[in-house]
Chain A
Amino acid sequence: EIQLQESGPGLVKPSQSLSLTCSVTGYTITSGYDWSWIRKFPGNKMEWMGYISNSGSTNYNPSLKIRISITRDTSKNQFFLQLNSVTTEDTATYYCARWGTYYYSSYPDYWGQGVMVTVSS
Chain B
Amino acid sequence: GENVEQHPSTLSVQEGDSAVIKCTYSDSASNYFPWYKQELGKRPQLIIDIRSNVGEKKDQRIAVTLNKTAKHFSLHITETQPEDSAVYFCAASMTGGYQKVTFGTGTKLQVIP
- Determine if chain A interacts with chain B: no
Chain B positions within 8 Å of A, measured between CB atoms, are none
